[in-house]
């Protein structure tokens, strides 16, 4: 936990000597501003309140699909929000209305804040995302997978991975343009998509988004960056209070 800085007064004996010698207490300068609270000291309810897409602020091209907890709920028990991120998390998923008839995924965006057991676990989350991105860096092909009750289409496309820093949070950005390959060997139009994960302490912020085929990787990256930058700005406001 980061300790707030405070101005420490001189010891009583030293202060008495200074007064005796000079007749006045020396100017100690302006008081130091308190250091913002560590992100990990904020509650999950506070962090959840910083997520984007409040229902009363949604733009015309965005519709809420899911939110946990619901806006009229003040709390959520750990594990209540269905997510594989951390020991506790909050998230919101929205539909991003786009053009194009052959849209296999979305268009959508999910923004998640998660709290891990410790800093090492949060760092491991970033490392695993980086490893996955590196596997699909450049041109990639993923074979279809049949697990009995569930069949997963094949994937093909081109991806990239890079380190990123947003407002003091650091992490990894993986981007791709991906097509799905169906049972009949037909191939969907390529869609730009992004997974952006950044960390501060044991807390992570994630944006996962897919846009319509007529959009670009730059478009979807810009959206995710904007969503997380806005969230970090609201978290910084909570840290300063």
Q: For each successive 10 residues of the chain (241 residues), what is the average pLDDT?
A: 35 32 40 62 91 78 79 45 70 75 79 93 95 93 90 95 96 96 92 96 95 93 95 92 75
- pTM for the structure as a whole: 0.77
- Within a domain: 49: yes
Give the model's pLDDT for residue 152. 92
The answer to whether the CB of 177 falls within 8 A of the CB of 155 is no
Token digits for 196? 């952006």
Instruction: From 144, 140, 164, select the one nearest 222 (Cα to Cα).
Output: 164
The per-residue pLDDT for 83 is 54
Asked whether residue 195 is assigned to any structural domain, the reply reads yes
| CATH number of the CATH domain containing 205 | 3.40.1000
Domain that holds residue 53: 39-240
Residue 2: the pLDDT is 38
- Whole-number Å distance between alpha carbons of 38 and 223: 26
**How many domains does the chain divide into?**
1
89 lies in a domain? yes
């Amino acid at each position: 936990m980061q300790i707030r800085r405070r101005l420490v007064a001189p010891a009583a004996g030293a202060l008495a000597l200074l007064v005796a010698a000079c007749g006045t207490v020396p100017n100690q300068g302006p008081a130091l501003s308190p250091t913002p609270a560590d992100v990990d000291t904020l509650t999950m309810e506070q962090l959840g309140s910083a997520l984007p897409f409040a229902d009363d602020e949604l733009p015309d091209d965005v519709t809420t699909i899911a939110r946990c907890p619901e806006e009229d709920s003040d709390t959520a028990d750990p594990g209540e929000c269905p997510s594989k991120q951390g020991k506790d998390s909050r998230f919101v998923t929205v539909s991003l209305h786009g053009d194009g008839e052959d849209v296999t995924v979305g268009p959508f965006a999910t923004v998640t804040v998660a709290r891990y057991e410790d800093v090492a676990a949060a760092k491991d989350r970033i490392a695993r995302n980086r490893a996955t991105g590196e596997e699909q860096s450049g041109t990639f092909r993923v074979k279809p997978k049949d697990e009995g009750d569930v069949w997963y289409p094949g994937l093909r496309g081109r991806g990239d991975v890079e380190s990123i820093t947003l407002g003091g949070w650091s992490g990894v950005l993986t981007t791709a343009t991906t097509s799905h390959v169906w049972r009949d060997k037909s191939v969907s139009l390529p869609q730009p998509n992004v997974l952006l994960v950044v960390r501060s302490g044991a807390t992570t912020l994630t944006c996962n988004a897919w846009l319509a085929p007529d959009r670009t990787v730059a478009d979807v990256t810009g959206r995710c960056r904007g969503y997380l930058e806005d969230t970090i700005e609201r978290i910084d406001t909570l840290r300063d209070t």
